[in-house]
C-alpha cells in the first residue's frame, strides 16, 4: 500500500458476507478522535467490545452508535490490568480474540486473512500481526519501527499479557502498554499489515512517550526479568528486548538511540519525518534514563 493510497474499509457482514467468528477487544479512554474510524474497520467481526475507563468525551456514545458493546473498567491499581481483565471476564462469544487499539486500523486484506486464519488455524493458538507506524501522515518504513510484530490474535484461554512490573501504577494508564502476549502453544504470522496511526502530531508523540518512559524507568529499576524472553537469536520481539536490556548500562544512551534509528536502521531513508522521529526517540531515551535515576535517588533518600 503506497503512502498516498486511501485506507479502505473492510466489507460489512450486512453487505452479503458472513461475519468472521472473532471477538474484538478495543481498550479505550477518551478516544473520541479515533474510535469511529477504528470501529468502521472492524465491521467485519462478529462482535466488538469497547472496554472504557471512564472517558469524559464522546467515546462511549460514538462506540455505541457503531454497534460496539461498551463495558466499563475501573482499575484498582492491582493486577490484572485492563487487557488481561477483558480476556478473562468479558462474555466473549467466539473462540478467537483480536485486540486492537483505537488508533489502529484493520484493512480489508488483513480482515480477510484473519477470517481464514480462525477457520483453519491448524495447531496454532495465536497469530502475530505486523504494524505500519504512521508519523506526521507518513508510513515509517525504517527507523527500527518496521517490521513491528505483535501477538494480537489469540485463541481464548491460551494467552495473556506478561507481567514485568510489580508496581501497578506507572502513571502510564490502566492498560498494558509495552507488555506482550505470551501464548502456551504454537503461533503463526499473518502476511498483511495493520495501520497504526499512533503519532499524528509531535504533541501526541511527546504526551504518549512521557507516560511510556514512566514504565520503562520502572521496569529497569525493578529488573524483574521474566515475561517475553530476551534472545538475540529469537524472533523480532525477543531480539528487540535483548537489545534494550544490553544497552541499558551504556553511556550516551540518548545519542546511541538516535544513531541506531537514523543510521543503523536507515531512518534517513524516511526523509524529514525520519529525522524528526529519530530525534524524538533520543529524547524519549533520555526521559527513560532520567526517570530511572530519579527512582534510584528516591530509594537512597528513603534508606
| Confidence at residue 8, expressed as pLDDT on a 0 to 100 scale | 55
Residue 169 CA to residue 148 CA, distance in Å, equals: 26
Residue 157: domain span: 13-199
DSSP state of 33: T
30 in the same domain as 81: yes
Query: Which of 172, 199, 226 is the C-terminal boundary of a domain?
Result: 199
215 in the same domain as 192: no
Query: pLDDT tens for residues 144-172?
Result: 999 999 999 999 999 998 876 655 555 55
**Residue at 264 is within a domain:** yes
Query: pLDDT tens for residues 68-127?
Result: 999 999 887 777 789 999 999 999 999 999 999 999 999 999 999 999 999 999 999 999
Residue whose grid cell is 501497578: 168
Pairing of the two strands 187-199 and 126-135: parallel
**Residue at 244 is within a domain:** yes
Total of domains in the chain: 2
**DSSP string covering 262-293, please?**
IIIT-GGGGHHHHHHHHHHHHHHHHHHHHHHH
pTM score, whole prediction: 0.84
Residues of the chain with pLDDT under 70: 1-17, 164-173, 176-177, 223-230, 232-233, 235-246
163 in the same domain as 18: yes
CATH at 33: 3.90.550.10
CA 91 to chain CA mean position, Å: 23
137 in the same domain as 31: yes
C-alpha cell of residue 200: 499524528
**DSSP string covering 41-56, please?**
TTTTEEEEEEEES--S
DSSP state of 200: S
**Residue at 269 is within a domain:** yes
33 in the same domain as 128: yes
Amino acid at each position: 500500500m503506497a503512502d498516498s493510497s486511501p485506507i479502505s474499509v473492510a466489507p460489512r457482514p450486512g453487505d452479503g458476507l458472513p461475519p468472521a467468528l472473532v471477538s474484538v477487544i478495543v481498550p479505550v479512554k477518551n478516544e473520541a478522535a479515533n474510535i469511529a474510524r477504528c470501529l468502521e474497520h472492524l465491521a467485519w467481526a462478529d462482535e466488538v467490545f469497547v472496554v472504557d475507563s471512564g472517558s469524559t468525551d464522546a467515546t462511549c456514545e460514538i462506540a455505541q452508535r457503531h454497534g460496539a458493546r461498551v463495558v466499563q473498567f475501573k482499575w484498582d491499581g492491582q493486577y490484572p490490568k485492563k487487557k488481561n481483565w477483558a480476556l478473562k471476564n468479558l462474555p466473549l462469544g467466539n473462540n478467537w480474540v483480536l485486540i486492537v487499539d483505537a488508533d489502529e486500523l484493520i484493512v480489508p486484506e488483513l480482515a480477510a486473512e484473519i477470517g481464514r486464519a480462525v477457520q483453519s488455524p491448524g495447531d496454532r493458538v495465536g497469530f502475530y500481526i505486523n504494524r505500519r507506524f504512521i508519523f506526521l501522515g507518513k508510513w515509517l518504513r525504517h527507523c527500527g519501527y518496521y517490521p513491528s510484530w505483535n501477538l494480537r490474535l489469540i485463541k481464548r484461554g491460551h494467552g495473556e499479557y506478561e507481567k514485568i512490573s510489580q508496581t501497578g501504577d506507572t502513571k502510564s494508564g490502566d492498560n498494558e502498554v509495552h507488555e506482550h502476549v505470551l501464548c502456551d502453544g504454537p503461533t503463526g504470522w499473518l502476511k498483511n499489515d495493520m495501520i497504526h496511526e499512533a503519532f499524528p502530531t509531535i504533541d501526541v508523540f511527546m504526551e504518549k512517550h512521557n507516560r511510556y518512559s514512566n514504565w520503562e524507568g520502572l521496569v529497569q529499576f525493578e529488573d524483574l526479568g521474566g515475561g517475553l524472553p530476551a534472545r538475540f537469536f529469537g524472533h523480532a520481539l525477543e531480539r528487540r528486548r535483548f537489545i534494550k536490556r544490553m544497552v541499558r548500562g551504556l553511556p550516551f544512551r540518548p545519542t546511541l538511540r538516535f544513531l541506531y534509528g537514523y543510521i543503523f536502521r536507515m531512518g534517513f531513508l524516511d526523509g524529514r519525518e525520519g529525522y524528526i522521529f529519530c530525534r524524538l526517540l533520543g529524547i524519549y531515551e533520555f526521559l527513560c534514563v532520567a526517570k530511572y535515576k530519579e527512582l534510584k535517588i528516591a530509594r537512597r533518600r528513603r534508606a
